[in-house]
Each structure stands twice: as C-alpha cells, then as structure tokens.
C-alpha cells in the first residue's frame, strides 16, 4: 500500500507566532512530503509494499541493508506524530490523566517542562525530544536523526522535532527559544491523554 502524507491537524498559520506558516510550508510541504515520496520509492515493487508504515519501521529498524528506508519511514511517522503533538492555544498546564501522571512521575509540571527542554537542548545534532511511557512510568527521552521510540517498543505520548529545519526560519540558531515556545504554547495535552489511554 502506498504511504500517504496525512493532512495537517491545523491550518498552516494557526501556530503563529510560535511556528510560522512559512516554516510549515517547508517543514510539512517539503521535508515531510519528501520522506513520504522516498519511502514509497523504496518500497515500490518489493515485498514491503503491502505493509503498514509501522510494520515497515519495525521490519527495517535493525537491518543495516535497509537504513535508508528505515530513516525515511521513521521520519514520516515521527512528523505525523509531531503535528499531532502541537495545537493552536495548546501548552500550559496539562489536564486529565496525564496531569496526574506528571505530578506522580516528575513531582510537578515545572520538573517535567525543565526535563523536556533539557532533552531538546541536549540532543547533539538532529533528532527528537519525547515524552514517553516506559514500564508504566512517564519519562523524557531523546532520539537521534530519524530514530523513534516505537522502534524500541516504547510508547511515545508527545514529541518535539529538534532538527534545525523545525525552527531555523523562525528562531535561527535559537533552539532554546523554540523549545520554550512549543512547551509553553503548543503542546497538545488531549493528544497525550489519548496516547496514554491507547
Ligand atoms: Mn522535521
């Protein structure tokens, strides 16, 4: 089956002023789309073209002959997860079950926000910062390049893209300002709660 580029869950200008429509034009319209095109080209006329995106990621994660396919497929998945991790008028204090888990597993919201920001800043080079559920507890992790928690059997709840293409047009080299803006104003707690339940 062909892998598709899902629609954005918001309009391109709705994350302004924190993420511009210009960034989304490139990040979604060019980067995310290119990962979809590359994935489809790499599975075309192979035994992998009947698999779901998740199955492709799991099948290629530890295969050194399929690195390019893993990287592109995982980037398709990570970006779709990232768009869903953001919402206009998001951020702020969590609500629902995730709020209780953050208090029990991090002590309080401020500790959580600090740890997520530290992961975003601490990733050397390109990658992703994640809120994940691991052995029943919330934790923060980071992955390099295209790597994704689902390749390691870990359940992601939210993520922040920390490749330079995610923030350079709006923040130049200011990764800390971008991470702050996302955490404070855009995180989608409803999505985190849905993932926690699922
Ligand atoms: Mn990206």
At 192, which CATH number?
3.55.40.20
Those residues whose C-beta lies under 8 Å from the C-beta of residue 168, and which sit 6 or more positions away, are none
Q: List per-residue pLDDT tens for the chain, 198 residues long.
A: 799 999 999 999 999 999 999 999 999 999 999 999 999 999 999 999 999 999 999 999 999 999 999 999 999 999 999 999 999 999 999 999 999 999 999 999 999 999 999 999 999 999 999 999 999 999 999 999 999 999 999 999 999 999 999 999 999 999 999 999 999 999 999 999 999 998
Q: Looking at the structure, tell me whether residues 63 and 43 fall in a common domain.
A: yes
- Answer whether residue 14 is part of any domain: no
- Answer whether residue 9 is part of any domain: no
Q: Looking at the structure, tell me whether residues 168 and 104 fall in a common domain.
A: yes
Question: How far apart (Å, rounded) are the C-alpha atoms in residues 93 and 151?
Answer: 29
- Which tokens in the block code for residue 136? 């029943």
Cα of 61 from ligand 1 centre, angstroms? 19
Q: Looking at the structure, tell me whether residues 126 and 185 fall in a common domain.
A: yes
Phi, psi of 150 (to 5 degrees): -65, -20
- What is the total count of domains within the chain? 2
Q: Looking at the structure, tell me whether residues 55 and 128 fall in a common domain.
A: no
Q: Looking at the structure, tell me whether residues 103 and 160 fall in a common domain.
A: yes
- Answer whether residue 122 is part of any domain: yes
- pLDDT score, position 198: 84
Q: Looking at the structure, tell me whether residues 113 and 169 fall in a common domain.
A: yes
Q: Looking at the structure, tell me whether residues 68 and 156 fall in a common domain.
A: no
- Answer whether residue 15 is part of any domain: no
Q: Verify cis geometry, omega within 30 degrees of 0, for the bond prior to 17.
A: yes
Q: Which residues of 27-56 are buried (b: 16+ CB within 10 A; e: fewer)?
A: bbeeebeebbebbbebbeeeebeebebeeb
Question: How far apart (Å, rounded) are the C-alpha atoms in residues 133 and 69?
Answer: 26
Question: How far apart (Å, rounded) are the C-alpha atoms in residues 173 and 181?
Answer: 14
Cα of 161 from ligand 1 centre, angstroms? 6
Cα of 101 from ligand 1 centre, angstroms? 28
Q: Looking at the structure, tell me whether residues 72 and 118 fall in a common domain.
A: no
- Answer whether residue 16 is part of any domain: no
Cα of 164 from ligand 1 centre, angstroms? 8
Q: Encode pLDDT of 9-59 as tens digits.
A: 999 999 999 999 999 999 999 999 999 999 999 999 999 999 999 999 999
Tell me which residues have their CB within 5 A of the ion that is ligand 1.
161, 163, 166
Task: Please choose, from the candidates 151, 127, 149, 125, the residue with its C-alpha nearest in 3D space to the C-alpha of residue 139.
Answer: 149
Question: How far apart (Å, rounded) are the C-alpha atoms in residues 102 and 192?
Answer: 11
CATH number at residue 63: 1.10.287.990
Cα of 96 from ligand 1 centre, angstroms? 29
Q: Looking at the structure, tell me whether residues 109 and 80 fall in a common domain.
A: no
Question: How far apart (Å, rounded) are the C-alpha atoms in residues 78 and 142?
Answer: 12
Cα of 32 from ligand 1 centre, angstroms? 7
Domain end among 29, 55, 85: 85
Cα of 163 from ligand 1 centre, angstroms? 6
Helix intervals (H) in the chain? 21-26, 33-43, 53-60, 67-85, 96-106, 109-122, 168-171, 175-185, 189-197
Q: Looking at the structure, tell me whether residues 80 and 35 fall in a common domain.
A: yes
For 75, the domain range is 21-85
Cα of 165 from ligand 1 centre, angstroms? 6
Question: How far apart (Å, rounded) are the C-alpha atoms in residues 116 and 3?
Answer: 30
Centre a 10 Å sphere on the Cβ of residue 128 and count the other Cβ atoms it contains: 29
Q: Looking at the structure, tell me whether residues 121 and 81 fall in a common domain.
A: no
């Amino acid at each position: 089956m062909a892998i598709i580029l899902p629609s954005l869950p918001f309009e391109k200008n709705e994350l302004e002023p924190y993420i511009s429509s210009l960034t989304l034009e490139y990040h979604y319209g060019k980067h995310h789309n290119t990962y979809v095109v590359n994935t489809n080209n790499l599975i075309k006329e192979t035994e992998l073209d009947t698999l779901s995106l998740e199955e492709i990621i799991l099948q290629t994660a530890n295969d050194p002959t399929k690195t390019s396919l893993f990287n592109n497929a995982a980037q398709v998945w990570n970006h779709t997860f990232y768009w869903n991790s953001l919402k206009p008028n998001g951020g702020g204090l969590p609500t629902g079950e995730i709020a209780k888990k953050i208090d029990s597993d991090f002590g309080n919201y401020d500790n959580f926000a600090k740890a997520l920001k530290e992961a975003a800043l601490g990733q050397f080079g390109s990658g992703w910062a994640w809120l994940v559920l691991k052995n029943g507890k919330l934790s923060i992790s980071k992955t390099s390049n295209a790597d994704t928690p689902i390749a390691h059997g870990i359940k992601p709840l939210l993520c922040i893209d920390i490749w330079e293409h995610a923030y350079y047009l709006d923040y130049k080299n200011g990764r800390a300002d971008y991470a702050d803006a996302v955490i404070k104003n855009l995180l989608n707690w409803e999505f985190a709660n849905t993932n926690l339940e699922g």
